[in-house]
């Protein structure tokens, strides 16, 4: 790479311009974040248009420096977009590494099927699902039950209280992940689950970054909603967090990712049992000699996860992936 080029991550894109933050020696002081510090305003090379490739927030890119913009921001040109590990359409994001599935212990009553759909959608895209059980102080029993289900299934699952007294563990987890590589995380879950409360509590600089800032380039709050990544300090390590108020369960949970035969593999505690049932075509719903059902009976697999599986299987049967959009694929 020449001296005039660097690698970075796209944080936002508006009207053919992209905000790119260089990797990786990035300080995460508040001023740095609030002043758009270190973010290059970049055009994309025309070649991407010909290839039908739209750079997305989360993309890892190679940039050539190109002086400064009229208002003094460092400027550049995106020369290359790195291979994506995944991409989402709504919200338009690439390379998410973690999806925090936020489940309230109470108020509103937790619906675990919704959470399991989010988890499967993440699994199918190679995004690590992480469980955050909020409002634990409102119903410690419910929180404990949910945590047991997801820890038992093999997920990192965190208990959180409104007073923030349990935030440390989640922050330590993020810092540990970030020390191993770029973390690009989003928070999803039903409305009222406590996503905004949790995010602004554990990332005070995110509140700062998403607040009433006069940006050099007008974008965000008052225009069309777009996904944007914000650099935040998580336990001393830099993480990128997607600000996506539109990240509803509906947007992300449609299980168009799976066929009936793929689905069991998206339940990570079922996957090792595949091939161990009596019948090769076992659907793991009611068959004799089903290895999954045996583990449900012995309570090694939770009834609630199995119930979600059955419900999702039924939904896929009613609306198989090959029928969507009226065409086979
Ligand atoms: N008791 C309690 N209330 C909470 C907690 N987290 C959020 N809330 C409340 O739950 C409501 C919804 O929270 P919000 O963060 O807006 O949820 P979102 O829709 O998922 O972003 C608000 O009234 C919050 O004050 C918590 O941990 N404990
Ligand atoms: Mg919210
Ligand atoms: Zn089976």
* Structure tokens, 169: 């563990």
Kindly tell me if the per-residue pLDDT of 43 is higher than 60: yes
Same domain, 53 and 156: no
Q: What does each C-alpha distance from 118 to 172, 177, 309 come to in angstroms?
A: 23, 21, 12
Task: Tell which atom from ligand 1 comes closest to the C-alpha of 160.
Answer: 27
CATH of the domain at 97: 3.40.50.300
Same domain, 183 and 102: yes
Span 30-41, average pLDDT: 57
Q: Which carries the bigger pLDDT value, residue 243 or residue 299? A: 299
**What spacing in Å lies between the alpha carbon of 291 and ligand 3's midpoint?**
5
Same domain, 98 and 236: yes
CATH of the domain at 35: 2.40.50.140
State residue 318's pLDDT score.
87
Ligand 1, CB cutoff 6 Å, lining residues? 134-135, 138, 160-162, 189, 191-197
**CB of 61 within 8 A of CB of 236?**
no
Q: Which of 26, 51, 81 is the last residue of a domain?
A: 81
Same domain, 202 and 135: yes
- 252 band by pLDDT with thresholds 50, 70 and 90: low
Q: Which of 218, 251, 284 is the last residue of a domain?
A: 251
Same domain, 62 and 102: no
List own/partner pairs for 65-73 with CB under 8 A and 24 or more apart: 65/4, 65/5, 65/6, 65/40, 69/41, 69/216, 71/216, 72/216, 73/36, 73/39, 73/40, 73/41, 73/216, 73/217
* Structure tokens, 291: 């290895």
**What spacing in Å lies between the alpha carbon of 104 and ligand 1's midpoint?**
9
State residue 322's pLDDT score.
61
Listed residue (117, 93, 119) closest to 240, CA to CA? 93
Question: What count of Cα atoms within 13 Å lies in the side-chain half-sphere of residue 93?
Answer: 29
Listed residue (56, 50, 49, 60) closest to 24, CA to CA? 60
Q: Which of 205, 236, 251 is the last residue of a domain?
A: 251
| Percent of the chain with pLDDT strictly greater than 70 | 83
Pocket probe mutation, ligand 1, options 192, 206, 244, 248, max atoms within 8 Å of Cβ: 192
Same domain, 247 and 260: no
Same domain, 100 and 245: yes
Q: pTM of this prediction?
A: 0.89
* Structure tokens, 98: 């973690």
Pocket probe mutation, ligand 1, options 163, 197, 203, max atoms within 8 Å of Cβ: 197
Listed residue (278, 268, 263) closest to 314, CA to CA? 263
Listed in sequence order, the residues at least 6 apart from 238 whose beta carbon sits closer than 8 Å to its beta carbon are 24, 26, 28, 178, 231, 232
Q: Which carries the bigger pLDDT value, residue 1 or residue 192? A: 192
> pLDDT digits over 125-175, tens only?
999 999 999 999 999 999 999 999 999 999 999 999 999 999 999 999 999
The count of domains in the chain is 3
Ligand nearest to the CA of 202: 1
- Cα–Cα distance measured from residue 144 to residue 304, given in angstroms and rounded to the nearest whole number: 14
CATH of the domain at 314: 1.10.40.50
- Cα–Cα distance measured from residue 209 to residue 263, given in angstroms and rounded to the nearest whole number: 38
Same domain, 163 and 290: no
> pLDDT digits over 53-112, tens only?
899 999 999 999 999 888 888 999 999 999 999 988 878 899 999 999 999 999 999 999
Average pLDDT, the chain: 85
Same domain, 195 and 304: no
Query: For atom 7 of ligand 1, which residue has the closest CA?
Result: 194
Same domain, 133 and 196: yes
State residue 205's pLDDT score.
77
> pLDDT digits over 194-242, tens only?
998 999 899 887 765 554 443 444 444 444 467 889 888 888 888 999 8
Same domain, 290 and 157: no
- 245 band by pLDDT with thresholds 50, 70 and 90: low
**What spacing in Å lies between the alpha carbon of 194 and ligand 2's midpoint?**
7
* Angle ∠(292,295,297) on CA atoms, nearest 5: 110
Kindly tell me if the per-residue pLDDT of 250 is higher than 50: no
Same domain, 73 and 92: no
State residue 234's pLDDT score.
85
Q: Which carries the bigger pLDDT value, residue 248 or residue 63? A: 63
When mean pLDDT is compared across 5-14, 236-245, 300-309, the lowest value belongs to 236-245
Query: For atom 8 of ligand 1, which residue has the closest CA?
Result: 194
State residue 201's pLDDT score.
93
Show the domain range for 22. Answer: 5-81
**What spacing in Å lies between the alpha carbon of 24 and ligand 2's midpoint?**
30
Listed in sequence order, the residues at least 6 apart from 209 whose beta carbon sits closer than 8 Å to its beta carbon are 33, 34, 230, 231, 232
């Amino acid at each position: 790479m020449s001296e005039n080029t660097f690698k970075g991550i796209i944080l936002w894109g508006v009207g053919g311009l992209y905000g790119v933050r260089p990797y990786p020696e990035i300080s995460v002081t508040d001023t740095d974040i609030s002043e758009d510090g270190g973010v290059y305003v970049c055009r994309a090379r025309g070649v991407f248009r010909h290839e039908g490739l739209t750079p997305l927030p989360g993309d890892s890119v190679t940039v050539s420096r190109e002086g400064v913009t009229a208002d003094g921001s460092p400027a550049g040109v995106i020369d290359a977009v790195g291979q994506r590990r995944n991409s989402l359409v709504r919200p338009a994001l690439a390379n998410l590494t973690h999806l925090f599935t936020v489940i309230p212990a109470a108020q509103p009553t937790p619906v675990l099927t919704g959470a399991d759909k989010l988890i499967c959608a993440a699994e199918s895209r190679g995004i690590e699902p992480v469980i955050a059980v909020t409002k634990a102080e409102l119903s410690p029993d419910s929180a404990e039950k949910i945590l047991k289900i997801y820890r038992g299934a093999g997920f990192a699952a965190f208990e959180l209280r409104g007073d923030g007294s349990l935030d440390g563990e989640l922050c330590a987890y993020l810092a540990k992940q970030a020390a191993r590589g770029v973390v690009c995380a989003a928070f999803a879950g039903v409305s009222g689950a406590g996503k905004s409360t949790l995010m602004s509590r554990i990332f005070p600089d995110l509140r700062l970054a998403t607040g009433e800032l006069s940006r050099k380039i007008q974008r965000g709050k008052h225009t069309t909603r777009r996904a944007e990544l914000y650099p935040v300090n998580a336990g001393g390590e830099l993480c990128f967090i997607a600000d996506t108020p539109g990240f509803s369960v509906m947007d992300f949970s449609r299980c168009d990712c799976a066929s009936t035969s793929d689905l069991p593999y998206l339940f990570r505690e079922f996957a090792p049992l595949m091939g161990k049932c009596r019948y090769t075509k076992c659907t793991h719903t009611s068959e004799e000699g089903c290895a999954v059902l045996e583990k449900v009976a012995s309570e090694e697999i939770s009834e609630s996860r199995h119930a979600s599986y059955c419900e999702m299987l039924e939904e896929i049967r009613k609306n198989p992936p090959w029928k969507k959009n009226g065409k086979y694929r």
